[in-house]
Amino acid sequence: MRVTVEIDADGLARVEMCRGDGNAIDLAMARALLGAARECEKARVRAVLLSGQGRSFCVGGDLKEFGAVSGAGLADHLTEVTDALHGALRILTGLQAPLVVAVQGAVAGAGLGLVAVADVGLAATDARFTAAYTGIGYTPDAGVSWSLPRLVGSLRARDLLLTNRRVTAAEALEMGLVSRIVAPERLKEEAVGIAGALARGATAVYGATRRLLDRALSVDLDDHLDLEARQLTAAAGAAEGREGVAAFLAGRRPDFRAVARRGSVDGAGPDLATPPDSSPSPPRRGVAGPDRPTRKG
């Protein structure tokens, strides 16, 4: 088994790659990630925590497998790998559920792409990042050439992709590749705590907020202000918005999970899974392609 999925009572899906220390992505691993993403989608999870077992999070593609495929068969093989891996990324970034990614040790190639789609990216202080692609004569996949310029800027992205220099956790935090760094012994606890809190939060509102952030990269301020106004109106009239305000006025914690359970039975007001306007949403961070699925949650 290359990927495990555990879903707890709060709706937190803990997805862990467990293929040796490096978690290199071969065809079976790519398909396993796609299967895990589909399981999260089917279960309508409320948050996803993606991690890698062992000393390293993910060292990228399995070059031993790629090297063993001869001639024209390599193109077909890599197409199968990227179809599965990119399918997993499209699903994970299309969920309403926020995605937390926790990394340690080596992060390279497609592993970098997995980090780049995170809503919250945690890195242990021993994490080291490198693009690696051009060093073996390959070009990027996993959305890396799309996500890096957006996260760290065009000039830094060119530097990282062309020179393949290693980036420390501290530098990754400074350039915006990850959002937090923690001691290695605290990585798991911190990641579970953050992902668990998100799973107990307002899932539909998280999804809507992420869509607003995505669209901010492709519209001007005037249009974006209109988008914000329409989305806020929809959110306020939906069950999560009503519960949040009622809880505040009553001096209690909101119970967004109960709202979700009631909504599945009797409806929950405006559906925040559907954007308030009909214009197409651009891809999420790190994911390219016009055929992303509509967010579900």
In this model, does residue 289 exceed pLDDT 50?
no
pLDDT surpasses 70 at 287: no
Place of tokens 């301020």: 221
Q: 284: Cβ–Cβ under 8 A, 6 or more apart, which residues?
A: 93, 94, 117, 210, 214, 292
pLDDT over 50 (residue 285) = no
Whether the predicted pLDDT of 20 surpasses 90: no
What pLDDT, on the 0 to 100 scale, is given for residue 263? 64
Q: Does residue 164 surpass a pLDDT of 70?
A: yes
**For range 73-98, the mean pLDDT:** 95
Which pLDDT value is given to residue 272? 57
pLDDT band at 62 (very low <50, low <70, confident <90, very high): very high
Long-range CB pairs of 208-212 (<8 Å, 24+ gap) are: 208/234, 208/235, 208/272, 208/275, 210/98, 210/119, 210/284, 211/275, 211/281, 211/295
Q: For the segment 267-284, what is each residue's pLDDT rounded down to a tens digit? A: 334 455 455 554 444 444
Higher pLDDT, 82 or 297: 82
Q: Give me the mean pLDDT over the 110-114 stretch.
A: 97
| pTM over the 0.75 mark | yes
**Per-residue confidence (pLDDT) for residue 52, from 0 to 100:** 97
What percent of the chain lies above the pLDDT cut of 90? 74
Cα 269 to Cα 5, 194, 199, 251, 252, distances in angstroms:
31, 28, 20, 23, 22
